[in-house]
């Protein structure tokens, strides 16, 4: 069976996989085993992860870096996860909150009441400015602003880039591909200049870039060249921003369609802002339940691929080495046996629903050793931006215009135009 549609049709995927825990399909011209069972997906990602490497679809999609965390070398991947971790762990992320809030507020207060806003483009600007403003230090303010703007243009082009299939092949020959290439070059060139400045400033020792530059082996030799540091930073910062921008866009759209949800969220955000949520645990926060439900229905990384590194047996299926194994978080998150009425937006389902640790039924950030290292950063950023936007504005979209789901580099809303009115 084939899944070669230029735009992946989730209803067709569900139909082809119904009743099958595993099924052989052709995905983007690649023969693959599609896995729809959350227990088996967890086995691939966690308990048997050493038997699986990056699959063919991943290699086709990758065009940002081949070093650091995207290296084929597992030891290098783990090493650069450890290097990034100090700047993304929860305790450090808490310190970023004032900067996140200031950046988001400066952006949204520039909107004008009644003017149409391209929400996803604006979310790119905000998340990119936050990424640069928190992770890169030691630069002049004007350079930091320009770096954020260039990253925003790159992220915007990346979001709209077809990930697989015939659409991706066509896109490689279009003006869209030229725009993406130009945006990447512009961001990379300025980032390279910033790296050169940091190299010539011995006192600049703080921040993610400086940690990459300072990384050395036992003999004190630098492991990455400045050019490789640049490639790794482009990958890291682009990946972090395109996903968060897409999730925030969905969150604001869902709020505009659900007045009661919006009312409850606003009340909870006020309470959390006033410090009344300090001792909350789990899903007692409506804000957390709201974001969990957004990520359930609209996981930005909607499809993933692994390749068997040796002969393995998965659910009584013998898979020889080199077999591509594909799974979709979008489909896993909408299984009716896991989530009753799975297509309904219901944050309160998380009051009673418990995620089974033996399954991969909820993986918006992945799980296991390859899970998203920026998850604590993303949760904090989503709440801060959501709070700032909703404090300032009430957003509305044309009720007669259907917003389509675009499964491209991320799962994003296609062409989301909204009109802000003062809160």
Question: What are the binding residues for heme?
Answer: 372
Annotated binding site: 372
Q: Which residue has the tokens 């002969």?
A: 311
Closest C-alpha to 50, from 335, 294, 370: 370
Q: At what angle do helices 141-159 and 226-257 cross, to 10 degrees?
A: 70
Taking residue 290's Cβ as centre, other Cβ atoms within 10 Å add up to: 27
Q: Is the separation of the CB atoms in 83 and 74 below 8 Å?
A: no
Q: How far is C-alpha 222 from the geometric centre of its chain's CA atoms?
A: 30
Q: Are strands 22-27 and 30-35 parallel, antiparallel or unpaired?
A: antiparallel
Q: Is the separation of the CB atoms in 249 and 159 below 8 Å?
A: no
Distance CA 228, CA 67 (A): 7
Structure-block tokens of residue 146: 């320009």
Q: Which residue has the tokens 């801060």?
A: 384
Q: E strands of 81-133, at which residues? A: 117-118
């Amino acid at each position: 069976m084939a899944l070669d549609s230029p735009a992946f049709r989730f209803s067709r995927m569900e139909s082809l996989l119904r009743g099958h825990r595993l099924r052989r399909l052709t995905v983007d011209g690649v023969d693959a085993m599609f896995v729809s069972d959350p227990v088996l997906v967890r086995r691939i990602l966690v308990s048997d992860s050493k038997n699986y490497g990056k699959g063919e679809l991943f290699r086709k999609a990758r065009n940002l870096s081949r070093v650091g965390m995207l290296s084929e070398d597992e030891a290098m991947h783990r090493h650069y996860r450890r290097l990034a971790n100090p700047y993304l762990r929860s305790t450090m992320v808490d310190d970023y909150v004032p900067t996140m809030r200031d950046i988001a507020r400066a952006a949204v207060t520039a909107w004008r009441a009644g003017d149409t806003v391209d929400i996803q483009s604006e979310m790119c600007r905000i998340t990119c400015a936050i990424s640069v403003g928190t992770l890169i230090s030691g630069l002049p303010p004007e350079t930091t602003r320009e770096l954020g703007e260039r990253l925003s243009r790159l992220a915007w082009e990346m979001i709209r880039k077809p990930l697989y299939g015939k659409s991706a092949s066509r896109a490689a020959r279009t003006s869209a591909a030229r725009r993406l290439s130009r945006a990447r070059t512009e961001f990379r060139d300025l980032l390279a200049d910033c790296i050169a400045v940091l190299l010539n400033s011995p006192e600049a020792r703080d921040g993610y870039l400086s940690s990459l530059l300072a990384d050395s082996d036992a003999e004190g030799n630098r492991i990455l060249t400045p050019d490789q540091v640049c490639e790794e930073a482009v990958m890291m910062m682009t990946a972090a921003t395109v996903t968060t921008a897409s999730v925030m866009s969905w969150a604001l759209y869902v709020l505009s369609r659900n007045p009661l949800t919006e009312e409850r969220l606003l009340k909870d955000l006020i309470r959390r802002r006033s410090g009344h949520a300090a001792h909350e645990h789990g899903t007692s926060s409506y804000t957390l339940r709201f974001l969990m439900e957004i990520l359930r229905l609209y996981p930005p990384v909607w499809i993933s691929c692994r390749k068997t590194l040796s002969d393995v047996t998965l659910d009584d299926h013998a898979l020889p080495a080199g077999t591509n194994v594909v799974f979709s978080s979008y489909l896993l998150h909408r299984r009716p046996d896991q989530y009753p009425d799975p297509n309904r937006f219901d944050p309160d389902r998380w009051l009673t629903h418990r995620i089974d640790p033996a399954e991969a039924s909820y993986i918006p950030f992945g799980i296991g050793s390859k899970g998203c290292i920026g998850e604590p950063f993303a949760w904090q950023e989503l709440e801060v931006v959501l709070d700032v936007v909703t404090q300032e504005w009430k957003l509305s979209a044309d009720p007669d215009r259907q917003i389509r789901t675009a499964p491209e580099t991320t799962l994003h809303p296609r062409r989301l135009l909204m009109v802000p009115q003062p809160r």
